[in-house]
Structure 1
Amino acid sequence: MLDRGPNPHDIHPNPELKQIRYIKNIVTNPRIIAGEYSYYDDTNGAPFEERVTHHYDFIGDRLIIGKFCAIASGVEFIMNGANHRMGSVTTYPFNIMGHGWEKATPQLSDLPYKGDTVIGNDVWIGQNVTILPGVTIGDGAIIAANATVTKDIPPYHIAGGNPARLLKQRFDDELINLLLELKWWDWSPEKISAHLDILCSSDLDKIRTLL
């Protein structure tokens, strides 16, 4: 039905845009958790898991993505399995080469561990962005194309560069606080459809009417 928007359980929300896929309905790895309506763009049709590298079961870290996120082509999430020992003389991973070198296998406690990678709701991640382990990107944030995100990004901020730095707030503090209170991404499809004009506006007075 038109007043409910696209079916959140479909793979392609729009059959005419086959490169757009809802993440939640495609991933099979239980340690990748995505909210409804969050999508990624991939003209080659590659599985979303290929975007998530060094993601090993024995480490146990998770990639958590909120609702209504837009993830462009070429984005890579690097997980904790990419980390090497940093406190020893060499960072070289002898153990994965085998042939007797596996005796140098490190304990997990010897490896840097940054925890889960968490992407909030309504986050837009531009093309070819790299996100390092353990980063949290707040609700409503925008990550500019080709950025490398090495640390947390606050809600409703724009970040870019390598390493990514904060460029500006999207809105003033009052509007940001209102939006974080509003949490429109948790509304029913019917309520979202009924208020699209306000959700696509930056008019503070209109947004106040939704609270």
Structure 2
Amino acid sequence: MNGADPTNPHPMAGFPQVCFIKNTVRNPNIIVGDYSYYDDPEDAENFERNVLYHFPFIGDKLIIGRFCAIARGAKFIMNGANHKLSGVSTYPFYIFGNGWETVMPKPGELPYKGDTVIGNDVWIGYEALIMPGVKIGNGAIVSSRSVVVADVPPYTIVGGNPAKPIKQRFDPGIVARLEALAWWDWPAEKITRHLPLIVSGDTEALLRVAAD
């Protein structure tokens, strides 16, 4: 046995509220790694409803790494939510046509923050809100109902509105070594073999066995 089947949308028998996201998303601009799950008792397979203002003509991507845990109601605001800021009014007159399309913003006039990227082994709490273009590093934790407006460093706990760093999970030297280790990219057999160390706090022991 080498853990859950990453191709099974509902890997916990009798518990359909947990869903491996990769198996259910259809939008090509949402890219999700193996084992990352969404936990929601109401239609866990419809994770895409939490990715808002994600219009295909804009082309921005939501990228989520492997082994992420995303709680119910977490939302991702994409670049399509942005309005032009340089005018007297921010109202999007042009979307209604009938002569108002003449003020359609020119390329580059709408704010664009790029792709939203969630690293590996990230835990996003209940009803957290991730804003456009945010990068959340590997091993980070986002507290419930946080509003994340800026990048989150690896292995950092953030919370609040706007979210601020609360705690660094490990010393910077350990973080650098864990990022280089990248256990989330190991084959399932190797993860299973070293699982007791992966879930323990003994980072030195995990780093020592990484080469086998």
Q: TM-score, normalization: structure 2? A: 0.95
- Match of residue 21, structure 1, among 5, 19, 27: 19
Q: Classify the secondary structure of the residue corresponding to 2:206.
A: helix
Give the aligned partner of residue 68 of structure 1.
Answer: 67
User: Counterparts in 2 of 1:38-49, with a 5 A limit?
Assistant: 38-45=36-43, 47-49=46-48
Please say if 1:119 is aligned against 2:123: no
The Cα offsets for residues 118-139 of structure 1, whole Å up to 9 and x where unpaired, read as: 0000000000000000000000
Residue 27 of structure 1, CA deviation? 0.3
Contact kept? 2:53, 2:77, Cα under 8 Å:
yes
Give the aligned partner of residue 50 of structure 2.
Answer: 51
User: Which letter does structure 1 place at the counterpart of 2:6?
Assistant: P
Would you say how many aligned residue pairs link Structure 1 and Structure 2? 209
Q: Classify the secondary structure of the residue corresponding to 1:106.
A: coil
Contact kept? 2:67, 2:120, Cα under 8 Å:
yes
User: Which letter does structure 2 place at the counterpart of 1:190?
Assistant: E
Q: Classify the secondary structure of the residue corresponding to 1:4.
A: coil
User: Which letter does structure 1 place at the counterpart of 2:149?
Assistant: T
Q: TM-score, normalization: structure 1? A: 0.96
Q: Classify the secondary structure of the residue corresponding to 2:49.
A: helix
User: Which letter does structure 2 place at the counterpart of 1:164?
Assistant: A
Please say if 1:199 is aligned against 2:203: no
Of residues 94-103 and 177-186 in structure 1, the stretch that sits farther from structure 2 once superposed is 94-103
User: Which letter does structure 2 place at the counterpart of 1:22?
Assistant: F
Give the aligned partner of residue 6 of structure 2.
Answer: 8
User: Which letter does structure 2 place at the counterpart of 1:203?
Assistant: D
Contact kept? 1:137, 1:152, Cα under 8 Å:
yes
Q: Classify the secondary structure of the residue corresponding to 1:205.
A: helix
Q: Classify the secondary structure of the residue corresponding to 1:159.
A: strand
Of residues 63-72 and 38-47 in structure 1, the stretch that sits farther from structure 2 once superposed is 38-47
The Cα offsets for residues 134-167 of structure 1, whole Å up to 9 and x where unpaired, read as: 0000000000000000010000000000011111
RMSD: 1.1
Q: Give structure 1 stretches of 5+ with no counterpart.
A: none
Contact kept? 1:182, 1:210, Cα under 8 Å:
no
Percent identity between the aligned chains?
Answer: 54
Q: Classify the secondary structure of the residue corresponding to 1:209.
A: helix
User: Which letter does structure 2 place at the counterpart of 1:40?
Assistant: Y
Contact kept? 1:11, 1:25, Cα under 8 Å:
yes
Of residues 51-60 and 175-184 in structure 1, the stretch that sits farther from structure 2 once superposed is 175-184
The Cα offsets for residues 5-56 of structure 1, whole Å up to 9 and x where unpaired, read as: 0100010111222111111100000000000000111211151110100001
Q: For residues 133 and 30 of structure 2, what CA distance do their matches in structure 1 show?
A: 14
Q: For residues 177 and 171 of structure 1, what CA distance do their matches in structure 2 show?
A: 10
Q: Classify the secondary structure of the residue corresponding to 2:162.
A: coil
Q: For residues 165 and 190 of structure 2, what CA distance do their matches in structure 1 show?
A: 33
Q: For residues 174 and 151 of structure 1, what CA distance do their matches in structure 2 show?
A: 23
Give the aligned partner of residue 85 of structure 2.
Answer: 86
Q: Give structure 2 stretches of 5+ with no counterpart.
A: none
